[in-house]
Every structure is written in structure tokens, then in C-alpha cells.
Amino acid sequence: MNKIDLAFAPALEQAQLIRQGEVSPLELVELYLERIQRLDSKVGSYFTVAAEQAIADAKAKTEQLSKSNSDLPPFFGVPIAIKDLNAVEGIHCTYGVNVLKDKIAAYDDGVVMRMKRAGFTILGKTATSELGSLPYSEAPGFPPTRNPWNLEYTAAGSSGGAAAAVAAGLSPIAQGSDAGGSIRGPAFCCGLVGIKPSRGRVTWAPVGDYQSGISTNGPIARTVADAAALLDVMSGYVTGDPYWLLAPQNSFIEAARQPPGQLRIAFATSLPPIGEAQMVCQQAVQETVQQLEGMGHIVEAGCPDFTGLIEPFIKIWQAGVAAVGIPKEALSPMNRWIVEQSGSAGEYLQAVSQMQIVARRVVMFFEAYDVLVLPTYMFPTIRVGEWADLNPEETLQKIISWIAPCPPFNASGLPAIAIPTGFDTNGLPVGVQLVGRPAAEATIIALAAQIEAAKPWSTNRPAIAL
């Protein structure tokens, strides 16, 4: 296998190659570090490359393999990238804030601990928007994150660095987080698979309740199986978590390998009060619907009523930025305005109550359906800096009109998976999201894998990465 093929090999395949002795953890880490050094100045996917730590860890694992390859954790020696909103002990953790560039984390987040126990070697910290608050990764004081498929365009956000790294072959797999589409949007823009798990599936330890449960950690990968396997690693209760789910009977990787059976599926290309998605995103849904009908699923038009969600969701988003406690003078004009708009504690609690009312309606919709197919975003990715000259109110309206299909499922806690379906006329990826019933990640993973098997996408590679 040549180096490019190895760099783009699925994480599960890399784990198997390590077990078979065909590649060592050190060889893999050195491969990715060389690619990062050569390509990331163009892409901007990493804030911090932890080269010394990664090499030391990979050398230790390679030495361990020389003695025994039994009882290895599932991803022993496989590299991974961690979003810079999550703490990794001994590595910079900036949250995309310029004044925090020198901050070193003193502990590991809960999901980071799980990934280390699974055997991953951490390459570094990936780029995000400032405080993770925006759907494009252009934090002041940091290079913008660019889409590997076309460097004039954004990789989206706030997990833009994670998606760009995987798409460019600068990491085989990555961790992200999603409070309003921040995994699904970058996956959509970069032609990848991204899972927003159900509320309570993945811990936010040591943090407790994070923005009233709208945010969660999740995987970004090139294949459904890789994403499912990383979700297996991430999942599970940590003592004190305010939300939790019982462990599924079977693993998510097993779900990716099993047919889903006949499902009742709804779809929509229009979201009131936003309106219709752009034609290329409508076509992605319609093509997916035709594919699902051909597979024998029962498919019909339908969508939950999202009326009344936008305003309370915005208030909760604004409060989350304000709650970080960084002086607003140290923030970008957009985040400074968000903090100023955040309102009182009473307004926040009213917003939470209203969001939960709408969320009940959304969840009730799934009493009649197993899966909902929607556009991931309402239109394809935007250019880097495209909205930079707009005032905050105008920027907010642009954001709402772009990411509208994603926040309802953060509000309701339902699982959703973004999958690629093709490319637009500019050569940029497009795709759809599959939304499932509460705690039913296994269903949407099985369905996504069925779609992937019929029309594989993981062999697609941007020209910059070759």
C-alpha cells in the first residue's frame, strides 16, 4: 500500500494493519506528521500539532507490539485529532480564543480519556470557531480553516478543523462536537460522515449540563463503520452526568454491518419558516429518497413542525457564549455582540422551557416514522470570509438560513448522521442527514451503511491531498 492510500485508509483498517504487523504506530504517526507539515499551511485544520507527544506515544506502542500483540484495545496505535474545545492534558487548549493561545490543559476531558483507553494516538488539536459559536472556523488570531476540496471555501464549523483534517488525509478520523450542526455541517461541507449522538449517549465530563443539553461530542470519519466504531468508544455514562442512556444491546459497529430492515421514512426539502433548500440540496434529498425506495423502504413526504424554535434556540446559544466568562473585550465583534444580547437568567430559563415544548412536538413526529431525511444545510458551503463584512444581525440571519435543518435535533436530543451524496457544480461536496428516534443511533447507522454500500464515497479524495 502506498503512502497516500495508507493515509486515506479507514481507521478500522489501520488498526488491523497494525495488528498484522504490516505497519507500526510510529510509521503511521510519522506519515501524518509529514503530511501535516507539508499541507496544513494551506488547509489550516490544526491549531496545535502535538508532534513530540505523538511520536513518544507511538514509539511506546511500537515497542509494546514488539513484545506482544494480544489484548490490544480496538484502535491501538491509530492516530486521531481532537477538537480544540476539548481538553487534552499537556496540550494547548485555546477554545479558538486568541488570548488563550498559551493555555495548556491540566486534565483530559471524559471523551479524551475514552479515546486514549481505546488506544488512539493524538496528533493534535483541530481548529474551531472562537468559542465554537459559529458555523465557520475563522477565529481571530488564527489562520482560517479551508475546505480541502476548494481552498477558497470554508470547511464550516465549529468542528471545521476536524473535518478538514480527515478530508485532506491529515488524520484518519477525528472527534468533534455539535450544538447546532457543528459536526454535521463540516461533514456535509467536506464530504464526510458525521454523527450527532442522542442526548446522554456521550459524556461532557468533567463539565455537567452544557447549554441545556443541546451540545454533544461525536465522531467525524470517511466511512460509516469508522464513525460507528468511534461512537462505540465515546459512548457511556460517567459518574455525575446529568443525562445518560442505557448502553445499547449491540455495538454501533455491529449496526453498521447489519441490514436495517424495512423502515418507514419521511423526507422534506422545505423547513418552515425558512423555506426551500437550494436546488442542489433538494436534489440530494430527492436522489436519496429514490435510492431508499429502491431498497424497499416506505418513504413519504413529512416533517416535524419547528415553529417557535428559532428564538429560544438563539437565546440559549447566546447564553452559552456569555457563560464562558471571557471578557467581551477579548472576543471578536460577533461574539461580543452575542454576549451583549444574551439577556437575563429569567430570559434564559424561559427560552429553555419554550425549546422543550417545541422539542416534544419534534419527538412526537417520530411515533409514525423510523427516520427523517433532510438537507444537512440549506445550501452548499460558503467562501472563506464571505460574511466578514456583515454586521452581527445580518450575520445571524445568514447563519439561520444556512444551518436551519440542524438545531432542531440538538433541541430535541435526537440522533442524526450526515452522509455525503455527491458534489455540486463547483466540485464541493453535498449530502443529507438522517435523523432517528430517541436513542436510535443504531437505526440511522444501519441505514447510512446501506446507502454507502450502494454508492460508496470513501474513495473520493481532494486534489490537494494527493
Catalytic annotation present for 398: no
Residue from 61, 83, 125, 315 carrying the catalytic annotation: 83
The confidence score (pLDDT) of residue 465 equals 87
Encode the chain (466 residues) as per-residue pLDDT tens digits. 899 999 999 999 999 999 999 999 999 999 999 999 999 999 999 999 999 999 999 999 999 998 888 889 999 999 999 999 999 999 999 999 999 999 999 999 999 999 999 999 999 999 999 999 999 999 999 999 999 999 999 999 999 999 999 999 999 999 999 999 999 999 999 999 999 999 999 999 998 877 899 999 999 999 999 999 999 999 999 999 999 999 999 999 999 999 999 999 999 999 988 999 999 999 999 999 999 999 999 999 999 999 999 999 999 999 999 999 999 999 999 999 999 999 999 999 999 999 999 999 999 999 999 999 999 999 999 999 999 999 999 999 999 999 999 999 999 999 999 999 999 999 999 999 999 999 999 999 999 999 999 999 999 999 998 8
**How many Å from the N-terminal Cα to the C-terminal Cα in the chain?**
14
DSSP per-residue letters across 364-412: HHTTS-SEEEEESSSS-PPBTTTTTTS-HHHHHHHHHHHHTTSHHHHHH
Catalytic annotation present for 83: yes
Residue in the block written with cell 423502504: 297
User: 10 Å Cβ neighbour count for 403?
Assistant: 23
Catalytic annotation present for 182: yes
CB-based contacts of 78: which residues, under 8 Å, 6+ apart? 11, 14, 15, 18, 25, 28, 119, 120, 121, 172, 173
Residue from 129, 133, 159, 182 carrying the catalytic annotation: 182
Q: What sections of 295-391 are H helices per DSSP?
A: 310-323, 333-340, 345-365
Residue from 158, 159, 177, 458 carrying the catalytic annotation: 158
Instruction: Tell me which H or E stretch contains 228.
Output: helix 224-234
Q: What sections of 151-223 are H helices per DSSP?
A: 160-167, 184-190
The confidence score (pLDDT) of residue 68 equals 82
Contact 367, 438 (CB under 8 A): no
Judged by DSSP in three states, 193 sits in strand
The confidence score (pLDDT) of residue 455 equals 94
User: 10 Å Cβ neighbour count for 451?
Assistant: 22
